Amino acid sequence: MDSFSYSSMKSMLIQARGSLNSRLSEFEPLVLLLVPLVSLFLAQIIGSVFGVVHEKGLKACLIGFIMGFLKMIPGVQNYIDAEKQKVVDQLQSGSSSKKKNKTEVLPVKGLGVEVLEKMENEKRNDAIWQGKCSGTVYIGGAESEGHFSLINQACSMFAHTNPLHIDVFQSVVRFESEVVAMTAALLGSKETASGGQICGNMTSGGTESIVLAVKSSRDYMKYKKGITRPEMIIPESGHSAYDKAAQYFNIKLWRVPVDKDFRADVKATRRHINRNTIMIVGSAPGFPHGIIDPIEELGQLALSYGICFHVDLCLGGFVLPFARKLGYQIPPFDFSVQGVTSISVDVHKYGLAPKGTSTVLYRNHEIRKHQFVAVTEWSGGLYVSPTIAGSRPGSLVAGAWAAMMSLGEEGYLQNTSKIMEASKRLEEGVREIHELFVIGKPDMTIVAFGSKALDIFEVNDIMSSKGWHLNALQRPNSIHICITLQHVPVVDDFLRDLREAVETVKANPGPITGGLAPIYGAAGKMPDRGMVNELLVSFMDSQY
């Protein structure tokens, strides 16, 4: 019976082959060659189209297609460019006059010590930032006194040093090691749950810390899982540094919505995880609204899928540990949470170190080693570098070490108490203004607020005219202030000016001369995000 079945099958295959050959003989050989190639080409195009639609959404793709078509019409592109330039000119707000007087060639005769006087004159043109800027300057008091003075002296003492030369400047190398160790200790390195291998490096700021964590996670997951088409998932509130890292390292970035409380949506994150996912992200707190993401739940999610999990503590790293000791209800956020593989912490924010100092920390050395770049075939010798920069300013490392050692735990506790109390006072004051609403329930020192009754960007313009420098946000349209020691004595002033600004906009709605409300409002509503992207790039290109 088996022999019969085999013979029958063989006979059927021979007949099918003959029939197929007979039919194909009706076509030209060239056609038979081109049809599968064209079909494969079309399949790739269709696959690419579906991929773009899946990534960007059908609406965005249709808008992009329509705008691309319209730009092909004669005169349309020139009109768009002219309108875009008008917006860029308005955003510059008078900076063009400063560019006219900028120095572009070396002076024939050097200025000598007179250059310091010239620098003082230039500095007088800066905006008044004392107590007036959201975030920006975190040290309290006058610029020439107290902690400011101490940091300036420390930086000056090590201005010539470079930790790249570990055999020469052993002092700053030790300072860096100790800054990393002290920071790690604040974030659970001494707890059993951390694994006892927390390690890291100092960087130039939160963006470099995040970029390095992404790079290390990408290479680590390639080593562990063989992932060659990496993807990462972040909430809408995640910092734009992740977008930068994604562009630099060719990683597909998925931004998922936040939940009704403006925290990372764990279920939405889970739905985006696939075989190419290398990492997920949480913030403690997020920059826009000062709200801590569900770090424990995200950690469990990362553990269950065997992927990396980075926690952005750039803002909270030198506040949350002390706020918890002061009795504030702070959810878990550090290496005590299983699943957390890396953390970024800015020392130059609430650590009160000089600008340009941050740390990136890893759960173990196995992950951290993928951060390093080692070169063995360079004629200049063997080379290895821990961070993006080769040469680094030892003065900033020394300044960070001096800040932490001079303040100590007691100093940070006192500072945290002041800014947390000021933040609660400010939040309560904003909630008392009926035309405004506070976004979510801030966990830390950021208060974001919007309005259903007024154009919040017009309110921001009035605040700007009073000397305040706040951050404009979107989705929803809102503004925020990040409270620092500079704001502790001026909370009442801020609330008074905010109430007056609201009343002004109520009485006289509409943009003020030179205000940016129309631009922010239009950018938020503009469906073609590619055009907004071009606008931002044009503005940045015009600044330098």
When pLDDT is averaged across residues 507-522 and rounded to a whole number, the result is 74
pLDDT per position as a tens digit, 190-227: 998 899 999 999 999 999 999 999 999 999 999 999 99
Question: What residue has token string 């007979």?
Answer: 22
pLDDT per position as a tens digit, 352-367: 999 999 999 999 999 9
Q: What is d(CA 532, CA 17) in angstroms, rounded to the nearest whole number?
A: 59
The reply to whether 481 falls in a domain is: no
The reply to whether 375 falls in a domain is: yes
Position with higher pLDDT, 467 vs 45? 467
The reply to whether 93 falls in a domain is: no
When pLDDT is averaged across residues 517-544 and rounded to a whole number, the result is 69
Taking residue 372's Cβ as centre, other Cβ atoms within 10 Å add up to 14
Question: What residue has token string 């470079």?
Answer: 162
Residue 60 has pLDDT above 70, yes or no: no
Total domains in the chain come to: 1
The reply to whether 125 falls in a domain is: no
pLDDT score, position 11: 78
Residue 94 has pLDDT above 60, yes or no: no
The answer to whether the Cα torsion of 204, 207, 213, 216 is positive or negative is: negative
pLDDT score, position 79: 63
Residue 462 has pLDDT above 60, yes or no: yes
Q: What is d(CA 181, CA 401) in angstroms, rounded to the nearest whole number?
A: 11
Of all residues in the chain, the percent with pLDDT exceeding 90 is: 72
pLDDT score, position 488: 97
Q: Decide: helix, strand or coil at residue 296.
A: helix
Residue 290 has pLDDT above 60, yes or no: yes
Position with higher pLDDT, 531 vs 162? 162
Q: Please, which residues have CB within 8 angstroms of residue 253's CB and are 6 or more apart in sequence? A: 231, 232, 234, 242, 243, 246
pLDDT score, position 24: 65
The reply to whether 83 falls in a domain is: no
| Strand (E) or helix (H) holding 283 | strand 277-283
The reply to whether 393 falls in a domain is: yes
| Domain span at 358 | 155-407
pLDDT score, position 65: 66
Q: Estimate to the nearest angstrom the gap between the alpha carbon of 452 and the chain centroid.
A: 28
pLDDT score, position 349: 98
pLDDT score, position 480: 97
Q: Tell me what the pLDDT averaged over the chain comes to.
A: 89
The reply to whether 302 falls in a domain is: yes
Q: Which tokens sit at 444?
A: 């830390």
pLDDT per position as a tens digit, 314-356: 999 999 999 999 999 999 999 999 999 999 999 999 999 999 9
Q: Are strands 373-375 and 358-362 parallel, antiparallel or unpaired?
A: unpaired
The reply to whether 132 falls in a domain is: no
pLDDT score, position 343: 98
State the CATH number of the domain containing residue 334.
3.40.640.10
Position with higher pLDDT, 82 vs 440? 440
| Strand (E) or helix (H) holding 233 | strand 231-235
pLDDT score, position 541: 78
Q: Could you tell me the pLDDT band of residue 495, with boundaries at 50, 70 and 90?
A: very high
Residue at 360: amino acid letter = V
Q: Which tokens sit at 233?
A: 């998932």
* CA triple 468-473-474, angle to 5 deg: 155
Contact call for residues 461 and 517 (beta carbons, < 8 A): yes
Residue 23 has pLDDT above 70, yes or no: yes
pLDDT per position as a tens digit, 212-266: 999 999 999 999 999 999 999 999 999 999 999 999 999 999 999 999 999 999 9
Q: Estimate to the nearest angstrom the gap between the alpha carbon of 33 and the chain centroid.
A: 51
Q: Please, which residues have CB within 8 angstroms of residue 319's CB and are 6 or more apart in sequence? A: 350, 416, 419, 420, 444, 445
pLDDT score, position 144: 86
Does the bond joining 476 to the residue before it have cis omega, within 30 degrees of 0?
A: yes
Q: What is d(CA 355, CA 399) in angstroms, rounded to the nearest whole number?
A: 9
pLDDT score, position 107: 92
pLDDT score, position 521: 65
Residue 450 has pLDDT above 70, yes or no: yes
pLDDT score, position 69: 63
